[in-house]
Amino acid sequence: MNENTYDVIIVGGGAAGLNAALVLTRARRRVLVVDAGAPRNRFAAHMHGFLTRDGFSPLELLELGRAEVRGYLGEILAGRAVSATGEAGGFEVTVELAEAATAGTSGTTGGTSGATSGGTSGGTATFTARRLVIASGLRDELPTIPGLAEQWGTGAVACPYCDGWEARDLRLGVIATGPMSIHQATLIRQWSADVTFVGPLTDDLDPAVREGLEARGVRILATDVSSILSDADGTLTGVALADGTTVDLDRLFVGPRLLANDELLRQLGAETAEGPMGAWTASDFTGLTSVPGVWVAGNSGNAGALVVVAAGMGAMAGAALNADLVAADTREAVEAARAVASTE
Ligand SMILES: Cc1cc2nc3c(=O)[nH]c(=O)nc-3n(C[C@H](O)[C@H](O)[C@H](O)COP(=O)(O)OP(=O)(O)OC[C@H]3O[C@@H](n4cnc5c(N)ncnc54)[C@H](O)[C@@H]3O)c2cc1C
């Protein structure tokens, strides 16, 4: 193999991609992880719901993960994969390199300790691999409300399983951004009896839904949120409404629009299937997509995957992919043995 040829290229170095890399490097596969360095939960100081890592720093988790992968000779490249073509046995991935990545002789950061940084001004490089794992995550598109972006990951969050315990018994708000917000408002009541569901969409609530929310004491305000309020330290204090009133709150739950980072999957021709979050890449239980040789893992394959699930999807994809390579290696060995036998 030449230096730019790998058994597997993994696009995305979050929990999903790194766990796939860990399984594959331990299976003695030559692995390149390409990572743009912007994990979805980078806005949060703590990560919850991951057994033995509850409360851990999300970025530290990935730093430890990168060290483990490198310990098994996996290579991690800082950059953004911008195109993927080819088929099983011969995929080609073009990467816009982050500046730091070009410091190494082979263009990889495998021998350095630096975390990937996200900038991509270091030129491009092309790599080939027999198989691909796309673990590129998703983007959270927040509603455009002044002050909301600044609170994302601290005062404003999305997932009660990630942040509900820390918000227990506080004054909680849910902004009605779409149909999923109804589910969110219903769920959040599990963590506090003081819940305000706010936004013009609440005007159109199904009567049975309204009855259920009101029976559980959820306050419903059908007014637009005009801005998010915070104190001098930047701590969230409430929301200002379009009717000129304010609501005091300690924590806000918001349902952002979820957009898969699935451009490479579409380039490769992977099919999608309709799900609760819209059209998402279809795959079998191991993450194998409709394109032979291409696996998907983590949020790019399942919008609802928490970190532990994303890591598990990566591990599953890694094991299935290795079995696929073993089968291919065996077929090639049999063909070679038969060719030798036929000349004897
Ligand atoms: C504010 C917030 C708080 C959260 N808190 C929790 C929590 O407490 N517990 C929990 O379990 N979950 C939490 N989550 C969910 C968590 O972020 C996801 O479960 C997790 O990030 C999914 O891992 P992943 O590997 O699929 O994707 P990511 O972690 O997003 O990693 C994907 C990686 O791929 C890179 N990438 C994307 N496109 C490319 C490309 N073309 N080329 C190269 N690299 C690329 C990205 O830059 C990123 O580094 C939270 C989410 C948010 C938004």
Closest ligand 1 atom to residue 298 Cα is 26
- Would you kindly state where each structural domain of the chain is located, as residue ranges? 5-139+257-340, 143-254
- Reading the block at residue 78, the tokens are 């800082």
**Can you name the CATH fold of 143-254?**
FAD/NAD(P)-binding domain (3.50.50)
Query: What's the 14 CA to ligand 1 centre distance in angstroms?
Result: 6
User: Does the CB atom of residue 303 touch ligand 1 within 6 A?
Assistant: no
Query: What's the 183 CA to ligand 1 centre distance in angstroms?
Result: 22
Band (pLDDT 50/70/90 cuts) for residue 151 is very high
Residue 106 has pLDDT above 50, yes or no: no
Instruction: Give the closest residue (by CA) to ligand 1 atom 15.
Output: 306
Mean pLDDT across 39-51 = 97
CATH number of 5-139+257-340: 3.50.50.60
Query: How many other CB atoms are there within 10 angstroms of residue 290's CB atom?
Result: 16
Closest ligand 1 atom to residue 43 Cα is 1
Residue 299 has pLDDT above 70, yes or no: yes
- Summary mean pLDDT of the chain: 93
Among 47, 51, 81, smallest CA distance to 63 is for 47
Residue 113 has pLDDT above 90, yes or no: no
What are the beta bridge partners of residue 140?
A: 258
For residues 75 and 322, what is the distance between their CA atoms, to the nearest angstrom? 17
Does the reported pTM lie above 0.85? yes
User: Does the CB atom of residue 97 touch ligand 1 within 6 A?
Assistant: no
User: Does the CB atom of residue 153 touch ligand 1 within 6 A?
Assistant: yes
Query: What's the 300 CA to ligand 1 centre distance in angstroms?
Result: 9
Closest ligand 1 atom to residue 50 Cα is 11
User: Does the CB atom of residue 310 touch ligand 1 within 6 A?
Assistant: yes
Predicted local confidence at residue 101, as pLDDT: 65
Among 313, 149, 177, smallest CA distance to 236 is for 149
Pocket test for ligand 1, best of 154, 166, 307, 316 (most atoms within 8 A of CB): 307
Band (pLDDT 50/70/90 cuts) for residue 213 is very high
Predicted local confidence at residue 121, as pLDDT: 63
What are the beta bridge partners of residue 47?
A: 56
Judge whether 5-139+257-340 and 143-254 match in fold.
yes
User: Does the CB atom of residue 10 touch ligand 1 within 6 A?
Assistant: no
Query: What's the 2 CA to ligand 1 centre distance in angstroms?
Result: 32
Question: What 8-state DSSP symbol labels residue 114?
Answer: P
Exposure class string for 30-58: b at 16+ Cβ within 10 A, else e: bbbbbbbbbbbbeebeebbbbeebeeeeb
- Reading the block at residue 77, the tokens are 């490249």
Predicted local confidence at residue 51, as pLDDT: 97
